[in-house]
Structure 1
Amino acid sequence: MAVTADSIKQSLRIDLSDDDTIIQTYIDTAVAYIQNAVDSTHTVEQLETYPQFNFAVSLLVQFWYSNRDTDMKETPYQVVSMIQQLRGKIIGN
């Protein structure tokens, strides 16, 4: 199940649709970021079969949205951990 703007808004308790475009941009960017960090030879559809993928996308989008006015230098530890788990699962298969 893909991460959607509505699922992000629900997690962040956002009721308005003013930021839907930026949230969707964050989702698209997070999907590409995590796909490339894990294994760019796997399609998004293949990666979405792992719960860690969608969780990492959701966490990263929420982080970017919540911290868009600050200097973000590092990817959150939880996202890095999910990426590492996905790499292990893919290499193990």
Structure 2
Amino acid sequence: MIITLDEAKQWLRVDHNDEDSLINTLISAAEKYLVNATGNTFDSTNELAKLLCYVLVADWYENRDMIGKTSEKVRHTVESIVAQLTHCYDSTTM
């Protein structure tokens, strides 16, 4: 696991347990997205992987209706981190 529920809730500034199931689903989806986008697996020691998971979870949590476009800032952040994780790491450095 790259990020924990508690870490995600702290990042989201959520202090209740009502949406723990949703947040866990978003964490799982973010980690799968990372693997699918890079072809690599990462653990919690990789700070870029953690940051990408935080950004994805926050974007999906805050924009649940999926209406409209992803902000350019989020898109650029995700693309930049995915590129770095794809090209700057191999299976021995994760």
Q: What amino acid sits opposite 2:61 in the alignment? A: Y
- How do residues 19-38 of structure 1 correspond to structure 2 at under 5 angstroms? 19-38=19-38
Q: Cα RMSD over matched residues?
A: 2.1
Q: What amino acid sits opposite 2:85 in the alignment? A: L
Instruction: Indicate the larger mover: 78-87 or 1-10.
Output: 1-10
Q: What amino acid sits opposite 1:88 in the alignment? A: H
Deviations 1:5-33 (A, max 9, x none): 21111112111000000000000011001
Alignment pair present for 1:86 and 2:85: yes
Distance 2:29 2:82 in 1: 15
- Structure 2: segments with no counterpart, 5+ residues: none
- Structure 1: segments with no counterpart, 5+ residues: none
Residue matched to 2:67? 71
Distance 1:65 1:72, change over 3 A: farther
CA drift of 1:76 comes to: 2.6
Distance 2:67 2:25 in 1: 18
More helix by share: 1
TM-score normalised over the length of structure 1: 0.79
Residue matched to 1:2? 2
1:57 to 38, 46, 53: 53
Identity fraction in percent = 34
Aligned length: 87
Distance 2:46 2:82 in 1: 11
